[in-house]
C-alpha cells in the first residue's frame, strides 16, 4: 500500500491518498483538503479512486466531500455506522474491526469514540499504518470539547485500542499539530505524557492541564 499525505484545509488538516500498488485502486481518508492537487496525483499515477473513508464527521474533515462526489459520482463513502451528519445514499457504515478492501490491500476499522462519538481509525496491519483522525496526533490526543465528546471513551479508545497495536505502527494523524507529520506508536508513548497514564484519573489530569495551558 502507498500513502501520500496532503496538508491544508481548515486548520493544518491532513488528507491522505492511499492505494494498492498492484491494482491501483485508491481511497481518500478525510476529504479535508482542496481537490485540485489531489486529482493531479490520482491522474499522474493512473489511480482508480473508489472510496472515501471518513475518520469522523467534524466539519473540517468532510469540507470537500461534495467536490469529490461531483468528480467521482460512483464513489463510496465509508465511515461510522451512525454518522452525526446526514451522509446520503452512497454512505456505508462500518462496524468495529470490519475489513475494507482496496484492491489487494485490506484495511481494518477500529472504532475510537471520545474526541467525537463517530470517530474511527483505519489500520493496515501489513504495512503497519494507522490513520487516526482526531483521536491521536503527534504528541497528544484530540480534545474532548465537542457536544459529542467523551473523555472516558477517549481514554478507553486510546489506551485499549490504539496503544495496544504493534509499537512500530506509524500513526498518520488528522492534523499537523506536532513536530513531525507522522510518528510511531512507540515514539508517541515515550515522548508524550498523554500516552503515559496509568489510570483514567491521570489521563483526565493531563487533559485538564493541557486545556488550562491553552487558555493561559
Ligand atoms: Fe475533529
Cell 474532548: give the residue. Answer: 144
CA 161 to ligand 1 centroid distance, Å: 18
Determine the pLDDT at residue 88. 87
pTM for the predicted model, two decimal places: 0.98
Q: What is the pLDDT of residue 209?
A: 96
CATH number at residue 195: 3.60.15.10
- The domain total for the chain is 1
Gap between the Cα atoms of 69 and 64, Å rounded? 9
Can you give the pLDDT of all 216 residues of the chain as single tens digits? 999 999 999 999 999 999 999 999 999 999 999 999 999 999 999 999 999 999 999 999 999 999 999 999 999 999 999 999 999 889 999 999 999 999 999 999 999 999 999 999 999 999 999 999 999 999 999 999 999 999 999 999 999 999 999 999 999 999 999 999 999 999 999 999 999 999 999 999 999 999 999 876
Cα(119) to centroid(ligand 1), Å: 8
Q: How far is the CA of 57 from the centre of ligand 1 (A)?
A: 7
C-alpha 86 to ligand 1 mean position (Å): 17
d(CA 15, CA 6): 5
Query: 92-106: buried (b, 16+ CB within 10 Å) or exposed (e) per residue?
Result: ebbeeebebebbebe
Q: Tell me which residue range forms the domain holding 209.
A: 2-215
The rounded Å distance from CA 134 to ligand 1 centre is: 5
Task: Give me the pLDDT at residue 191, please.
Answer: 97
Cα atoms in the Cβ-side hemisphere of radius 13 Å centred on 121: 31
pLDDT value for 148? 95
Q: 107-125 in b/e burial notation, b at 16+ Cβ within 10 A?
A: bbbbbbbbbbbbbbbbbbe
114 CA to centre of ligand 1 in angstroms: 10
Amino acid at each position: 500500500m502507498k500513502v501520500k499525505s496532503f496538508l491544508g484545509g481548515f486548520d493544518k488538516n491532513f488528507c491522505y491518498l492511499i492505494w494498492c500498488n498492484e491494482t491501483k485502486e485508491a481511497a481518500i481518508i478525510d476529504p479535508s483538503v482542496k481537490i485540485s492537487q489531489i486529482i493531479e496525483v490520482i491522474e499522474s499515477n493512473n489511480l482508480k479512486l473508489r472510496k472515501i473513508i471518513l475518520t469522523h464527521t467534524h466539519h473540517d474533515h468532510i469540507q470537500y466531500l461534495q467536490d469529490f462526489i461531483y468528480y467521482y459520482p460512483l464513489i463510496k463513502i465509508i465511515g461510522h455506522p451512525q454518522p452525526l451528519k446526514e451522509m446520503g445514499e452512497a454512505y456505508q457504515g462500518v462496524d468495529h474491526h470490519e475489513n475494507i478492501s482496496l484492491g489487494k490491500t485490506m484495511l481494518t476499522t477500529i472504532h475510537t469514540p471520545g474526541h467525537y462519538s463517530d470517530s474511527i481509525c483505519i489500520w493496515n496491519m501489513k504495512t503497519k499504518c494507522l490513520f487516526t483522525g482526531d483521536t491521536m496526533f503527534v504528541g497528544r490526543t484530540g480534545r474532548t470539547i465537542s457536544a459529542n465528546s467523551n473523555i472516558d471513551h477517549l481514554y478507553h479508545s486510546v489506551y485499549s485500542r490504539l496503544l495496544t497495536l504493534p509499537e512500530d505502527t506509524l500513526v498518520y494523524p488528522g492534523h499537523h499539530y506536532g513536530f513531525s507529520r507522522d510518528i510511531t506508536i512507540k515514539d508517541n508513548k515515550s515522548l508524550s505524557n498523554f500516552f503515559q497514564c496509568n489510570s483514567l484519573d491521570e489521563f483526565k489530569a493531563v487533559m485538564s492541564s493541557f486545556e488550562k495551558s491553552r487558555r493561559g
